[in-house]
């Protein structure tokens, strides 16, 4: 893979992350009433508020938004907090 190809892929991946992946998790999974993240969201985007919260997925989401905050900045810091 050439350096130009690597740069192209890196730009595509970053765009997907910023425009689709992180905004999806910010819009649909943050529990604004109790803090943290919901334990289950189905394929239709319905949140199952009664589902238990798994520490592993909450930790992974927290780590992701903390890393995004360090690399990109403020919009992701609020979600990590």
Q: Is the pLDDT of residue 48 over 80?
A: yes
Q: Is the pLDDT of residue 75 over 90?
A: no
Confidence of residue 53 (pLDDT cuts 50, 70, 90): confident
Which long-range contacts does 21-26 make (Cβ < 8 Å, 24+ apart)?
22/64, 22/65, 22/68, 22/76, 25/61, 25/64, 25/65, 25/79, 26/79
Is residue 68 in a domain?
A: yes
Is residue 51 in a domain?
A: yes
Is residue 17 in a domain?
A: no
Which long-range contacts does 29-33 make (Cβ < 8 Å, 24+ apart)?
29/61, 30/79
Phi, psi of 22, rounded to the nearest 5 degrees: -65, -45
Tokens 């992350």, located at residue = 17
pLDDT for residue 81? 86
Predicted model pTM: 0.79
Is residue 78 in a domain?
A: yes
Instruction: Give the total number of structural domains in the chain.
Output: 1
Q: SS3 of 62, please? A: helix
Please give the residue range of the domain that contains residue 60: 36-81
């Amino acid at each position: 893979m050439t350096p130009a190809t690597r740069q192209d892929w890196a730009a595509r991946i970053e765009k997907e992350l910023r425009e689709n992946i992180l905004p999806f998790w910010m819009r649909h999974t943050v529990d604004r009433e109790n803090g943290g993240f919901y334990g289950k969201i189905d394929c239709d985007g319905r949140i199952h508020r009664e589902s238990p919260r798994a520490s592993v997925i909450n930790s992974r989401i927290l780590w992701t938004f903390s890393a995004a905050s360090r690399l990109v900045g403020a919009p992701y810091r609020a979600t990590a907090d």
